[in-house]
Amino acid sequence: MELSVYNIKGEVTDKKVTLDDSIFGIEPNNHVIWLDVKQYMANRRQGTHKSKERSEITGSTRKLIRQKGSGGARRGDIKSPVLVGGGRVFGPKPRDYSFKLNKKVKVLARKSALSLKAKNNAIVVVEDFTFDAPKTREIVELTKKLQLADKKLLFVLPNQNKNVYLSARNLSGVNVITASDINTYRIMDCAGLVMMESSVAVIDNLFKA
């Protein structure tokens, strides 16, 4: 698949970039995309939730009412789970939600996500650019010129660029990531991929290795 390369002014240049069909042109596998997104979200969970059980509640262990003769159910102490303020039965405990996913599955998921974006014409390639200083206005102008201002975007950079990152940080609908750190969740979470020209080669090397 060939795409035209735009400049920072939003104009089409004479240059073309070829997207490798083995990465951007495969038949998307929705199940592995779901698995990779599920793992990404599970790994981000802190798992620090905790509720107190009966033995952890502060309170008297005195028996509330006599065993028989009251006409009602037997009562234990005030920490009983059936009473307001009592301990919780089988409450949440701190745990690790992360799980393992095979490397080939993760690679297939990323390829599937990229292929979906390519299939939906949601990939735009822009000439490599940088800013002398962080300027949010420059990113806003670029999205307008590319006619992507109303979409949630992911800018894919070939390497770390502090000024570009700081320029996009204040925009709620724009995220920035390096090509080597690209993942299925970020790809699927955006409506359009804006890739720098050099990022395509980085992704090719990443998934062909």
The C-alpha angle with vertex 141 and arms to 137 and 146, in degrees rounded to 5, equals: 150
The percent of residues in the chain predicted with pLDDT above 90, rounded, is 72
Give pLDDT tens digits for 173-201.
899 999 999 999 999 999 999 999 999 99
Q: Tens of pLDDT along 86-117?
A: 999 999 999 999 999 999 999 999 999 999 99
Per residue in 69-81, pLDDT tens? 999 888 889 999 9
- The pTM score is 0.83
Q: Find out whether 146 and 194 touch, Cβ atoms under 8 Å.
A: yes
61-71 pLDDT, tens digit each: 899 989 899 99
- The pLDDT value recorded for residue 209 is 56
The CATH code belonging to domain 2-28+110-208 is 3.40.1370.10
Least confident residue range of 5-14, 25-34, 193-202: 5-14
Nearest Cα to Cα of residue 47 among 89, 98, 88: 98
State how far the Cα of 17 lies from the Cα of 197, in Å rounded to an integer.
8
User: In this model, does residue 26 exceed pLDDT 60?
Assistant: yes
